Amino acid sequence: MITNQVIQKCIDRMKDATGKEFAVMDLEGAMVAATLGVKVSITDEILTYAKAPAGQMVSEGSRYSVVKDEGHPEYIVLTPEDENAPMLLRILEGQIQELIIAYKERFDKENFIKNLLLDNLLMVDIYNRSKKLHINAEARRVIILLEVGLDKVGDEMDRVMGLVSGKNDFVTAVDETNIIVVKELSDKESYREVERSAKAIGDTFADRGLRVSYGTIVDELKDLSRSYKEAAMALDVGKIFFKERSVIAYSTLGIGRLIYQLPIPLCKMFISEIFAKRSPDDFDEETLATINKFFENSLNVSETARQLYIHRNTLVYRLDKLQKSTGLDLRVFEDAITFKIALMVVEYMSYMEDQDF
357: pLDDT strictly greater than 60: no
Q: Work out the burial of residue 57: count CB atoms within 10 Å of its CB; fewer than 13 is exposed, 13-18 middle, 19 or more buried.
A: middle
d(CA 140, CA 272): 46
Name the residue with higher pLDDT: 167 or 38.
167
pLDDT tens digits, one per residue of 281-336: 677 888 888 998 999 999 999 999 999 999 999 999 999 988 888 888 999 999 99
β-partners of residue 34 are 23
Rounded to 5 degrees, φ, ψ at 242 are -130, 55
Q: Where is average pLDDT lowest: 109-118, 150-159, 164-173, 258-267? A: 150-159
Name the residue with higher pLDDT: 161 or 226.
226
Amino acid at position 309, single letter: Y
Strand runs labelled E in the chain: 23-25, 31-34, 57-59, 62-69, 72-80, 140-147, 170-172, 178-185, 211-214, 247-249
d(CA 343, CA 211): 23
- Residue 109: its pLDDT value, please? 85
- Sign of the alpha-carbon torsion through 99, 104, 105, 107: positive
> How many CB atoms within 10 Å of residue 191?
16
pLDDT class of 72 with cuts at 50, 70, 90: confident
- Residue 278: its pLDDT value, please? 64
> How many CB atoms within 10 Å of residue 317?
12
- Residue 92: its pLDDT value, please? 93
What single string gives the DSSP state of each residue in 125-180?
HHHHHHHHTT--TTSEEEEEEEE--TT--S-HHHHHHHH---TT-EEE-SSSSEEE
- Rounded mean pLDDT of 8-28? 91
- Residue 42: its pLDDT value, please? 76
pLDDT tens digits, one per residue of 103-128: 777 778 888 999 999 999 888 889 98
β-partners of residue 143 are 182
Nearest in space to 319 (alpha carbons), one of 296, 340, 336? 336
Q: Cβ(171)–Cβ(180) under 8 Å?
A: yes
152: pLDDT strictly greater than 80: no
- Rounded mean pLDDT of 65-75? 87
- Residue 277: its pLDDT value, please? 61
End-to-end CA distance of the chain: 39
Q: Strand, coil or helix: what is 277?
A: coil
Nearby residues of 226 by Cβ (< 8 Å), 6 or more positions away: 215, 216, 218
Q: Give me the chain's average pLDDT, please.
A: 88
| Domains in the chain: ranges and CATH | 4-95 (3.30.450.30), 136-254 (3.30.70.270), 262-355 (1.10.10.2840)
pLDDT tens digits, one per residue of 169-215: 999 988 888 999 999 999 999 999 999 999 999 999 988 889 999 99
